[in-house]
Structures are given as C-alpha cells and as structure tokens.
Amino acid sequence: MSIEEKINFYKNSLDFFEEKLEKYKFLLEQGKKSKPFPEEFRKENFKVKGCQSQVWLVPRFENNILDFYCDSDAFISKGMVTILTDIYGKNSPKEILDSNFELLKVLDLDNLLTQGRRNGMYSMLKKVKEYAEVFKK
C-alpha cells in the first residue's frame, strides 16, 4: 500500500467509530500490534524530543527502504507512533519526503488528542522526516 492508501485506511478505521472512547481504544490496539522493540535501541539518542512520554524511533535502512522500530512507555503514544511508522515505514526516503504530510490531518487526531499528545505526534512525524532526509540519496 502507498502512504496515501495507508492514511486512508486509518482514516476509514477511525471514522468507523462514533465515540471518542472507541477511537482511543483503536489507538491503544494499534500499539499492541507493534513489532517487538530491541532493548539495545532503548537509548537517549533514539528518543523523540517533544513527547510527554518516552518515545523511541529507530530507523532501519536496507535496499533503499526505510523502516522503523518504535516503542513508548505510554499506550496512546505507542499507538500513535505505531500508526506513523506503519504509514511511512517500508518506503524509500524519497517516497516519504515526497508525500503530502498534510494528508495526516484527515485522521482528525487534533480533535481526539490533547495538546500535549498532538505536539508529541508532530514531533514523531518530524523525526520520521529527519530520518528520511538522512537516508535519501
């Protein structure tokens, strides 16, 4: 699936729920689906600055494809970082950088998350972009 198709998948998934609590539960469930996080990456240099909780985002670059390990010590943050890495992971750095990051707004997380969580989500997104910049050719 393309980045845009993944964003639309999550939009449709979140739109399915009418209540905020159900949407929160969906975010929590996404965190439970994340790949196991290697303990050797639980280091300060992989932490995302600007998050209320501790969030780790680790790039994996192989065959011109950028993917990520991610984790958080808070369930909502773990769900959000899992969604972001699912959307942007397994793509080339160029595909990531060429994508329309404004499309994420269709997920309407600004109305679901507190200001602190929104700031954290944007910090995670910024880190994804930074890693794509580092690995672009």
Could you give the residue numbers annotated as active site? 51
SS3 content of the chain, % helix, strand, coil (to 5): 60, 15, 25
Q: How far apart are alpha carbons 125 and 120 in whole angstroms?
A: 9
Q: How far apart are CA 29 and CA 118, in angstroms?
A: 19
Fill in the amino acid letter for 76: I
* Contact by Cβ (8 Å): 75, 64: no
Residue with structure tokens 């950028």? 66
How far apart (Å, rounded) are the C-alpha atoms in residues 6 and 11?
A: 9
End-to-end CA distance of the chain: 23
